[in-house]
Amino acid sequence: MLQKVSGFIQAQNLCQPDNKILAAVSGGIDSVVLCEVLHQLKYTFAIAHCNFGLRAEDAEADQLFARKLAKQYEVPFYTENFNTQAFAEQEKLSTQMAARTLRYEWFEQVRNQEGYDYIATAHHSNDLAETILLHLTKGTGIAGLHGIPAKNGNIIRPMLTVTKDDIYDYVTSRKLIWREDSSNITTKYQRNKIRHEVIPVLKEINPNLEETMQHTAERVSHAESIVAAYIEQLRQQSIKQTDEAVYLSLEPLLHATGLPVVLHELLRPYNFSYSVVLELAEALQGISGKQFESPTHTLVKDREQLVITPRNLSSFGSILINEGDTEAAAGNLSFTIKYVPADKYKLNTKPHVAALDAEQLKFPLRLRSWQEGDWFVPLGMNGKKKISDFLIDKKVPANLKSKTLVLISDQSIAWIVGQRLDNRYKVTDKTERVVEISIERHT
């Protein structure tokens, strides 16, 4: 056991001998072995235990057991009680996902505050096999096939090369005592169903299932690195990000191998499912304007590019700017307003800045989304133009059209924000005072 774990730590470069480790300990057999191994390998470690309030008296007994374990090893002990059920309902999560979120957030908080280098969990190779099978059952990309990473940021899993049989052999030889969690037996949880009903059948076919799946996970992990390098190269060639949207040029992707997989990886940060990406891949040769949704973003095919915008940017009502105001804000937008004598004003021609003749404005000004029927007189012209026609001429993608704002003076549009001033409000040689309004978007 000690040779396996020590060799794995070195091979995976999980930590150094002088690092301080915070061990996540439930009191079950796996975490008890983790403590004994860290002790035998002479690591400096502490024990952290979560009471999720889900198993009544059993949870209290687990907490007391973990406290006694820390006393036995003469190491620091940290514990926290959570109202997991209330958190799950509030965040609309499953109980298991809520517990996982609470657990890792608290571990990281303790690690930071108490000066530990790593958080160690007691995951082993059986957990790895279960995770891969669970991901395969639900559908997964490449990342799901490497199961549980040995190192993920500040989290390390030094026992990932160890099997459950190794753990039972070790507790027998060391005469270790642990707490049995009754929830591990029930098959109402998906992972337990795989553990108790699926894996035994697979082990009839391959008795060395855990070792085989660990080797497969390692090969997949290396293959993932190769794919990641290829995707990053395409990302650099195809993606341009601005304050208002992400633009993905299609030209570099036309000859990409495995286009749906490539698109899925490029769009992963924006939470588009693989089924949506398959529809998108089929639509790439079609006409512009087709729209796709993820839980967080909207994507529109616009000629030779894809335009991606956050869905929450569309939630903009309207705000008033009174004379004398120097700033205003709404949602993810903030505005800075300056009042400058014309003879001291240096014209700023950036699109997110408007310089307006104060004498032509009627306060309060109002910022709102554009509406059908809105019109203005574009800077440099004398005739009026519908904003809808202006946006079409400017080839503004559909998902950005809905986010276009206008600045209203009295009943007239003085500025299509970030696009074009109205000619009636421009600064001229007769202007005495300039009102400069600049906009900033916050992600």
Domain closes at, from 312, 341, 374: 312
pLDDT of residue 331: 61
pLDDT of residue 71: 96
> 388 is in which domain, residue-wise?
316-441
Q: What CATH number is attached to the domain comprising 300?
A: 3.30.465
Assigned domain for 155 exists: yes
> If you average pLDDT over residues 290-311, what whole number do you get?
83
How far is Cα 306 from Cα 410, in angstroms, rounded to an integer?
Answer: 37
Assigned domain for 231 exists: no
Q: Are residues 249 and 192 in the same domain?
A: no
Assigned domain for 236 exists: no
Whether the predicted pLDDT of 317 surpasses 70 = no
Assigned domain for 237 exists: no
Domain closes at, from 152, 185, 220: 220
Assigned domain for 235 exists: no
Whether the predicted pLDDT of 401 surpasses 90 = no
Whether the predicted pLDDT of 315 surpasses 50 = no
> Is the pLDDT higher at 288 or at 432?
432
Q: Are residues 28 and 177 in the same domain?
A: yes
Q: Are residues 375 and 300 in the same domain?
A: no
Q: Going along 216-304, which residue ranges are E strands?
A: 239-241, 246-249, 291-293, 297-302
Q: In what order do the strands lie in the sheet with 291-293?
A: 239-241, 246-249, 305-310, 297-302, 291-293
Assigned domain for 226 exists: no
> If you average pLDDT over residues 366-391, what whole number do you get?
88
Q: Are residues 276 and 333 in the same domain?
A: no
Q: What CATH number is attached to the domain comprising 170?
A: 3.40.50.620
Assigned domain for 367 exists: yes
Q: Are residues 17 and 94 in the same domain?
A: yes
Tokens of 90: 């509030």
Assigned domain for 173 exists: yes
Q: Are residues 28 and 154 in the same domain?
A: yes
Q: Are residues 176 and 305 in the same domain?
A: no
Q: Are residues 188 and 256 in the same domain?
A: no
Q: Are residues 169 and 31 in the same domain?
A: yes
> Is the pLDDT higher at 171 or at 334?
171
**Banded model confidence at residue 184, pLDDT cuts 50, 70, 90:** low
Q: Are residues 204 and 85 in the same domain?
A: yes
Q: Are residues 114 and 29 in the same domain?
A: yes
In SS3 terms, 347-378 reads as CCCCCCEEEEEHHHCCCCEEEEECCCCCEECE
Whether 150 contacts 7, CB under 8 Å: no
Domain closes at, from 187, 220, 253: 220
Helix (H) or strand (E) holding 420: strand 420-421
pLDDT of residue 187: 60
Question: What rounded mean pLDDT belongs to the chain?
Answer: 87
Whether the predicted pLDDT of 313 surpasses 60 = no
Strands 20-24 and 44-51: parallel
How many distinct structural domains can be found in the chain? 3
Whether the predicted pLDDT of 350 surpasses 50 = yes
Whether the predicted pLDDT of 143 surpasses 90 = no
Strands 155-156 and 385-386: unpaired
